[in-house]
Structure 1
Amino acid sequence: MRNLIGLFFLSVALAACTSAPRNEVLSYTDFPRTLELKGRTLPLDTALFRYPFRIRVQGDRAVVLDLHGEDCFCHAFSYPAFCPLSSFGRRGEAPGEQLSAENVRWSGDGLWILDSNKSELIRFGCALSGDSLSRQESVNLDKDILRALDFVAMDDSTFIIPDYSGDSRFCLVNRQGSLLHKLGGIPSSNEDALKNARPALAQAWRSFIDYNSRNGVLAAVTQFGEVLEIYHLKDSTRTVYIGPHGEPEFKISQGYGIPTSIMGFSDVQVTDSAIYAVFHGRSFKEMAQNARQGIHVDGGQYIYVFSLKGEPLCSYVLDHFVNGISVDEQQGIILATDVNKDEPVIEYRPLHRLFR
C-alpha cells in the first residue's frame, strides 16, 4: 500500500511539472567558481576493461560498468581498496546472458543492470560471502517503451525511464515491466520539431538521469547541447537551465535526429546537497578535426556542480577526460572513469568545503 501511495503522489507531481505556471526556463552563462583538480590514478591490478563507462559505489563495494565488455559487462571491487572481487553480467545471447549494458544502479542490497538490446532490467544480488553478485531476476520491459537507454529506481516497485518516442519525457514502469504512465514533455523551443518530428527531437534530446529519493530531486542532462532539467517531485515544480551551448541541435536523416552541435553531458548524480554532471563541450567539427590528426580522446574534462535548484555553483577542470562519476560528499571524494587509460579509475578530492 505504501508503494501505491508513493506512486500516486509521484504521478501527480510529474504531471504537475508539465503545467505552465510551475515551469521555469532559465539560463546560465558561467560559474562563480572554477577550480582545477588533479586526480590520483587508482592501481586496479587488472586489465579487464575495454570501455569503463560507469562507476557505482555502495558501502564497501564498487562496481564498474564496461560498456563494451568482452566477456562480462560488470566488475565488482572492494571499496576503498579496489581489490577485484568478481565479474558478472556475462555477455552473450543465451538465456541468462546479456546483449548490452547501458547503466547500472544500486537499489537496496541489489544491483540493477539495463540491457537495452533485450529490453530488460536484471537484478543481481550479493552472495553470502559478499564477494560476488549473482543474477536473481529479470524484468521484461513493456513493448510500448521505445528502446530504454537509461533508468533510475524510484523505489522498490517503480522505475523511471526516459521516453524516446517523443510523446513525453519519462515513462513510469512497475516492477513487472509494465508501463504505468508517460509524463512530462520535451522542453524544446523548436515548435516545428515538436509538431512534426517528435521522435527525431527525442533522439536529439537523449538525456542521462539520476534521482535522489531523500530529497525527491530527479535530474536530466542532455548528451548533446547543454541543458539541465530538474524535477522537484516533493513540490511539483520543474526547472530547465540552458547553458551557453544551448539546446541540442540536429538535422533529420531518414527519420532519425542526427546531432550537429556539441557533445554535452555524459553522467549526472544527485546527492543530498547538489547536482554533479560530467560535461564535454567539444563540437563535432572539432572532434572530426582531431580524428584526422590522429587525436582520439573520449570523455569530458569538466564536472559542473549545480545547486538542487539548478543554480551554477562550481566548475571543476580535470586533468583527465572522464565519462562516469561517483560522488561521496561525506568523504569529499569524486571517483571517475577514464576510458583512455589502462588503469581507468581516477580519484579526485575537491576542496572539502564545497561538499558542506
Structure 2
Amino acid sequence: MCLFIIACLISLFSFSLSSCRQEVQKTNVAYVDFPRTIELKARVIPQDSILFRYPFRVHVQGDKVVVMDLHATEYFFHAFRYPDFQYLTSFGKRGDAPEEILSAENFRWNGQFLWMLDAGKSKLTRLSFTLSGDSLLRTEVVSLDKEILRALDFVQYDDSIFIIPDYSGDSRFCWVNRQGKLHRKTGTIPTTNEDALNNACPALAQAWRSFIDYNPRNGVLAAVTQLGEVLEIYNLKDSTHIVRVGPCGEPDFKVSQGYGIPTGIMGFSDVQVTDNAIYAVFHGRSFKEIAQSARSGINLPDGGQYIYVFSLAGEPLCKYVLGHYIYGITIDEQRGVIITTDVNKDEPVIEFCMK
C-alpha cells in the first residue's frame, strides 16, 4: 500500500508546477476525540459474478449501486440492483480507444445520469441507463482544460459547473464549466507550515491531496486529506470555511528532488456529505509501521478500520469501529446502513448497520 500511495502522489508532478498563494486561512480548530465510539456489525454481500482487483469507490442512487474497481483489467465500473445487489452490467472498458478509459479515479451520480472521471485522458464522461436498466449510453464528453493539473477527484456543483481539487499549489479548488474550461480558482492550502508554503509549494500541494464530496441540498463541500488528519468544510451557501485538525495533525512529508514524500500517517480515503452529517473513512497507520511490516514479510490489511462522523459544522459526533478494513463508503441514512468496499476480500462489498 505504501508504494501505491507514494506513486499516486508523485504522479501529480509529471505535469507542470506553479507557485502557491501566500495567504493562509487561519481557521484551524483542533479536535481530540469523539464523544461516542460504536462498533458496527458487518454483513458481507455475496458477489459471485464479478472478480474485483481493487474495489475503491461505491455510490448508490435510487435502485442502483455502482462499484468502481481502481485497478481493473477489463472494466472499471460494475452496476448492481440495490439493495439486493443483483448484477446488471459492467462498463467503462479499460483502454486507450476513444470510448475507453485510461485511468478511472471516481464517478458521481446526478439523478439518473452518471459521470465518470478519466484522469489519464483528462475527461469527464456522462452516461445514462437505458429504459431496461441493464446497459448504459454515452451521452456527453467533457475534455478538461489543459491548465488543470491531473484531476484525481471531482464533484458537480450544479448543471453547469464542476469542482476539482487543484494540485498546482496555487489554490484549493478549480471551478470548471460544462465545456471543460477553467472558470476560476478558489481557496488556499490551510497549512501552518510556513516554510513549505514559501519554499516547497508544489510538494505541499502534493502532500495535501484530498478526497472531496458535495451535497447541493445543504451546500456543504467537504475535503479530507489522504495524509495526516485534516477535515475542511466549505459551506458554499454562507461562504464559511472550517478546518478541523485531528490528533495526527497536518500531512507530514519531506521534500526530495522537488517531490513530497509522505513520512507521517495514512489518513482518510473517502468522505460523504449527507443531509445530516459528514462521514469519513480514516486509516491512521504510519508509513513507518507499513515499511517495517513489509521488511518483515508481514502483509498488513489495506484500508481504514474507522468511520469518523462529524456534524455539518465539523463537530465530532462519533467514531465507528469496523471489523473490516475499508476504502470507499456510501451512506444510506433511510435504511440506516453504510455500504463499503474492502480491498482485502474476494467478496469486497460489506454492509454495516448503524441502527
Give yes or no for TM over 0.5.
yes
Matches of residues 1-356 of structure 1 in structure 2 within 5 Å? 24-291=27-294, 292-351=296-355
Distance 1:195 1:19, change over 3 A: closer
- Is the 8 Å Cα contact of residues 88 and 134 (structure 1) preserved in structure 2? no
Q: Deviations over 1:250-288 (max 9, x none)?
A: 111121111110000000000000000000000001111
Query: Which amino acid in structure 1 is aligned with residue 344 of structure 2?
Result: N
RMSD across aligned positions (CA): 1.2
Query: Which amino acid in structure 2 is aligned with residue 216 of structure 1?
Result: G
Distance 1:185 1:19, change over 3 A: closer
How far the C-alpha of 1:296 sits from its partner, in A, is 3.5
Quick check: 202-211 or 288-297, which moved more?
A: 288-297
Of all paired residues, the percent bearing the same amino acid is: 69
Query: Which amino acid in structure 2 is aligned with residue 25 of structure 1?
Result: N
SS at match of 1:200: helix
How far the C-alpha of 1:119 sits from its partner, in A, is 0.7
Q: C-alpha separation between the residues in 1 aligned to 2:300 and 2:195?
A: 36
How far the C-alpha of 1:24 sits from its partner, in A, is 2.5
How far the C-alpha of 1:192 sits from its partner, in A, is 1.4
SS at match of 1:285: helix
Q: C-alpha separation between the residues in 2 aligned to 1:313 and 1:295?
A: 32
How far the C-alpha of 1:350 sits from its partner, in A, is 1.2
2:11 matched residue in structure 1: none
Q: C-alpha separation between the residues in 2 aligned to 1:134 and 1:244?
A: 46
- Is the 8 Å Cα contact of residues 218 and 275 (structure 2) preserved in structure 1? yes
Gaps of 5+ in 1: 1-17, 352-356
Q: C-alpha separation between the residues in 1 aligned to 2:71 and 2:31?
A: 35
Q: C-alpha separation between the residues in 1 aligned to 2:141 and 2:259?
A: 30
Quick check: 110-119 or 126-135, which moved more?
A: 126-135
- Is the 8 Å Cα contact of residues 38 and 318 (structure 1) preserved in structure 2? yes
Query: Which amino acid in structure 1 is aligned with residue 80 of structure 2?
Result: F
How far the C-alpha of 1:38 sits from its partner, in A, is 1.8
Q: C-alpha separation between the residues in 2 aligned to 1:263 and 1:165?
A: 22
Q: C-alpha separation between the residues in 2 aligned to 1:149 and 1:247?
A: 20
Q: Deviations over 1:291-349 (max 9, x none)?
A: 23322311000000000000000000000000000001111010000000000000001
How far the C-alpha of 1:19 sits from its partner, in A, is 8.9
Q: C-alpha separation between the residues in 2 aligned to 1:145 and 1:278?
A: 27
Quick check: 241-250 or 132-141, which moved more?
A: 132-141
Q: C-alpha separation between the residues in 1 aligned to 2:170 and 2:97?
A: 34
- Is the 8 Å Cα contact of residues 24 and 188 (structure 2) preserved in structure 1? no
How far the C-alpha of 1:45 sits from its partner, in A, is 1.7
SS at match of 2:180: coil
Q: Deviations over 1:191-247 (max 9, x none)?
A: 111112111100000000000000000000000000000001111110000000000
TM-score (norm. length: structure 1): 0.91
SS at match of 2:267: strand
- Is the 8 Å Cα contact of residues 47 and 342 (structure 1) preserved in structure 2? no
Query: Which amino acid in structure 1 is aligned with residue 315 of structure 2?
Result: E
SS at match of 1:296: coil
How far the C-alpha of 1:34 sits from its partner, in A, is 0.3
| Aligned length, in residue pairs | 332
Query: Which amino acid in structure 1 is aligned with residue 302 of structure 2?
Result: D
Q: C-alpha separation between the residues in 2 aligned to 1:147 and 1:261?
A: 24
